[in-house]
């Protein structure tokens, strides 16, 4: 399995949305519930555009880990941010 780190960009919005939908209950259980409107793809798409804008203007960084196996899986990476700070 190969793992790569990429910054959030438009090319992964569909995969990231699928990840968010698939893990909706998990996020709610660990204390990070998303508003119902977050699960409307049009809203998610705008949220993603806003995050990319912030990232491109140096306000934040949104790294994603990609696991490449038979099925490509994308997930947010807080570990990567921690490694930048250390």
Q: What is the pLDDT of residues 40-49, one digit of tens each?
A: 999 999 999 9
- Across 43-70, average pLDDT: 88
Q: What is the pLDDT of residues 18-55, one digit of tens each?
A: 999 999 999 999 999 999 999 999 999 999 999 999 99
Between these two residues, 56 and 80, which has the higher pLDDT value? 56
**Region for 85 from its dihedrals, namely left if φ exceeds 0, alpha if ψ lies in -120 to 50, beta otherwise:** alpha
Residue 47's pLDDT is what?
Answer: 95
Percent of the chain with pLDDT over 70: 76
pTM, full prediction: 0.70
Residue 24's pLDDT is what?
Answer: 94
């Amino acid at each position: 399995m190969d793992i790569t780190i990429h910054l959030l960009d438009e090319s992964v919005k569909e995969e990231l949305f699928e990840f968010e939908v698939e893990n909706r209950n998990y996020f709610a259980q660990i204390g990070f519930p998303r508003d119902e409107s977050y699960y409307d793809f049009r809203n998610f798409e705008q949220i993603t555009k806003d995050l990319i804008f912030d990232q491109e203007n140096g306000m934040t960084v949104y790294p994603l880990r990609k696991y490449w196996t038979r099925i490509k899986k994308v997930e947010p990476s807080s570990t990567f941010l921690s490694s930048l700070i250390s």
